[in-house]
A and B are shown apart, each in its own frame.
Chain A
Amino acid sequence: MKYVTEFRDAELVGGVLEKIRQTVTRPWTMMEICGGQTHSIVRYGIDQLLPPEIELVHGPGCPVCVTPLEQIDRALAIAARPDVIFTSYGDMLRVPGSARDLFSVRASGGEVRVVYSPLDAVKIAQANPDKQVVFFAIGFETTAPANVMAVMQAKNLNLKNFSVLVSHVRVPPAMHAILGSPSNRVQGFLLAGHVNAVMGYHEYPPLLEKYQVPMAITGFEPLDLVQGIYETVRMLEAGRVEIVNAYARAVTFEGNQPAQKMINQVFMECDRAWRGIGVIPASGWCLRPEFDGFNAEKRFDVGDIVTKESPLCIAGQIMQGLKKPHDCSAFGKQCSPETPLGATMVSSEGACAAYYKYGR
């Protein structure tokens, strides 16, 4: 068992697709929360293989896409400081702020480094005691355990030159926002399996009860995706409202408790603006006050940030499942991966970039 090829078996995928076709009797709209799933669905062309009754709408689960413009502009301002080494996941470098991106800050002399893991940023801080090392800690629940560990490790190592610029978001509040919207179209959810690997799924029953939508915890391989879709269709057709764990090899009800504990030690809930969507109450995590010493927002005064979003971009509506990338007048014209107007065109998880790249 290698946990990869087994779940890319074309024959098995075909078999599950056939089951979906046999099961579906009428139109259903379901949302895959996670941008990684959007990417896989489009990359493997799974959307083309589904019966026409099933519409997949793409959710807001792309941390790069939803990081608010204000926070990106703040990152750009910090990264441009001569005393700073700014570290980030590769995804963030091309995301446009109001006027520029991290690549252009680097081209203008700012020191911007891509890291694979937040612990690499801690190492950079250890190796550069005369520089301030800032890590752009973005992400959903999946990335939180890593990001909080970097803060904890910096604290344990007594590093005075390490701080994090936090822009953390959580899935359940976003689902509340989507389902509670009067224009909601989503009838079932594919939950983001790796979020659940960390958080379990004990947070989801209240959502289920309140909004009466079935959910399937779904993985990322083609077989996982069709299985998640099949479970959701089955529930929808039978009128069942449940949570099915279609990613059992990776997800338990309780989730990863040591990780949850560490997150709670370092982070606390806060309101968070989602780019293109707006502020969702209690939808984010930020550093607890006892970690102020590691908070880049407190350490660097970059003045008032005035943001300016492209008036053409409809990323917010796309991420709420209200519109598809084609509905945007700028898609493929003024807006492409080389010249993105909004973050959904930048991140490979972004619905617009996935549609553009794979020619939808």
Chain B
Amino acid sequence: MCLGVPGKIVERYEKEGLPMGKVDFGGGTLREACLAYVPEAQPGDYTIIHVGFALNILSEEDALETLALLREMDSLGEELAPDEVCN
């Protein structure tokens, strides 16, 4: 259920009493979304958008932690890790 797509909030403003914002879905695709449920969200934050509403603020810390964990767990991860350091 529920196509939720990550996007970056690039602007926050009010419209007809509702907190709204412009969300960048990548590659220059923008759409207005309602930010009423993420009162603390600021431009630069990533969020999951579902039917024009921001559902949350994505946690970069958690995302990186998940990826690190999976890399570690992955036997390939050990080989990949040095590359990452170089980058």
Residues in A lying within 8 Å of B, measured CB to CB: 1-4, 6-7, 11-12, 14-16, 18-19, 34-36, 61-63, 89, 116-120, 139-140, 142-143, 145-146, 149, 153, 156-157, 192-195, 197-198, 220, 223, 227, 246, 248-252, 256, 258-259, 262, 349
Contacts and interface: CB of A to CB of B under 8 A. Distances in A.
Interface of A is mostly: helix
B39 A15 contact: no
A262 B38 CA distance: 13
Contact of B55 (A7, A119, A259): A259
Contact of B51 (A146, A192, A195): A146
B6 A197 contact: no
Given A18-B74, A146-B53, A259-B55, A1 B1 contact: no
From B16, B39, B71, B80, residue with most partner A Cβ within 10 Å: B16
Contact of B53 (A2, A15, A145, A227): A145
Contacts of B43: none
A146 B36 CA distance: 10
Nearest to A64: B1
Of the four ranges (under 10, 10 to 19, 20 to 34, 35 or more), the interface on chain B belongs to 35 or more
Given A193-B4, A248-B66, 19 more contacts: A3-B46, A12-B77, A15-B70, A15-B71, A34-B1, A61-B1, A63-B1, A119-B18, A140-B2, A143-B50, A145-B37, A146-B34, A194-B48, A197-B55, A249-B59, A249-B62, A249-B63, A250-B48, A250-B55
A120 to B, nearest CB: 7
Interface string B20-64: 000000100001011011110000001010111101101110111
Contact of B64 (A1, A145, A156): A1
A178 to B, nearest CB: 15
B65 interface: yes
Given A1-B46, A117-B52, A143-B50, A6 B76 contact: no
A249 B1 contact: no
Contact of B76 (A3, A14, A89, A157): A14
B67 A256 contact: no
B6 to A, nearest CB: 4
Nearest to B36: A149
B53 A36 contact: no
Contact of B56 (A16, A143, A192, A197): A197
B1 A15 contact: no
A4 B1 contact: no
A11 B58 contact: no
A7 B64 CA distance: 11
A35 B1 CA distance: 5
